[in-house]
A and B are shown apart, each in its own frame.
Chain A
Amino acid sequence: AQTVTQSQPEMSVQEAETVTLSCTYDTSESDYYLFWYKQPPSRQMILVIRQEAYKQQNATENRFSVNFQKAAKSFSLKISDSQLGDAAMYFCAYRSGLDTDKLIFGTGTRLQVFP
Chain B
Amino acid sequence: EAQVTQNPRYLITVTGKKLTVTCSQNMNHEYMSWYRQDPGLGLRQIYYSMNVEVTDKGDVPEGYKVSRKEKRNFPLILESPSPNQTSLYFCASSFVGTSTDTQYFGPGTRLTVL
Contact = CB atoms under 8 A, between A and B. Distances in A.
Interface residues on A, range: 20 to 34
Contacts, number: 52
Main secondary structure of the interface of B (DSSP, over half): strand
A101 B96 contact: yes
Interface stretch (A13-21, A63-71, A73-81, A105-113): A105-113
Contacts of A105: 35, 42-44
Contact of B42 (A44, A97, A107): A107
| Chain A CB within 10 A, most for which of B40, B88, B94, B97 | B97
Contact of B40 (A43, A52, A107): A107
Contacts of A45: 90, 92, 105, 108
Given A103-B35, A103-B45, A107-B40, 18 more contacts: A9-B40, A42-B107, A43-B107, A43-B108, A44-B105, A44-B108, A45-B90, A45-B105, A47-B102, A91-B43, A93-B43, A101-B33, A101-B96, A102-B33, A103-B43, A103-B103, A105-B43, A107-B42
Interface of B: 31, 33, 35, 40-45, 48, 58, 88, 90, 92, 94, 96-97, 99, 102-103, 105, 107-108, 110
